Amino acid sequence: MVHTIDIKNEKYLVTKQVVFMSIDNAFQMGTSVNTFATKLKAYRLSVTGPPIIRGRVDFNGGEVLIKKDIMLQFVGNPVTLPKEFEWKEHLKIGPCVYARFRGREENLIFASQKISVYAYENEIELKKESYTVYVEKTNVAVTIDIFIPHED
């Protein structure tokens, strides 16, 4: 198995017809994605493309809050969605520092760390959010793209 982390700058994450759902328990991510996809099917929407996880850091007084949302792209008429779902017809995130990670999922932290080192060395100020795209998963490895937006 080949372990690689490729870094690029000035990349954009572009999606069409994406719907968001907040995650309360990050440890139940897989279950949450499946539940969310099932809910969308109930509204006659088909999920297309890989799941995307948006992570954000918010500050509430002296408390640090980490928030996560599942983002799924869909095909269908979004007017059938209830108001509880946030959705956007087009979403363009960037510019970003981008990492393509190939390896065992438990080593994904190294991709985020490599982005941080790259940003430090190139004097790039990263924003407090990230987008993780689960591109491919096999029995031995995953391919995951990470986008972290930065200031222009």
Q: What residue spans define the domains of the chain?
A: 4-149
Tell me the mean pLDDT in the region 38-64: 85
Phi-psi region of 103 (alpha: psi -120 to 50; beta: other; left: phi over 0): left
State how far the Cα of 58 lies from the Cα of 140, in Å rounded to an integer: 34
Q: Is the pLDDT of residue 150 over 60?
A: yes
pLDDT at residue number 66: 83
What confidence score (pLDDT) does residue 26 get?
A: 55
Looking at domain 4-149, its CATH class is alpha beta
Q: Which two tokens stand for residue 132?
A: 């993780």
The pLDDT mean for the chain works out to 89
DSSP symbols for 118-145:
HHHHTT--B-SEEEEEEEEE-SS-EEEE
Query: 9 and 122 in contact (C-beta within 8 Å)?
Result: yes
Q: Which residue has the higher pLDDT, 22 or 101?
A: 101
Please tell me the pTM assigned to this model.
Answer: 0.87
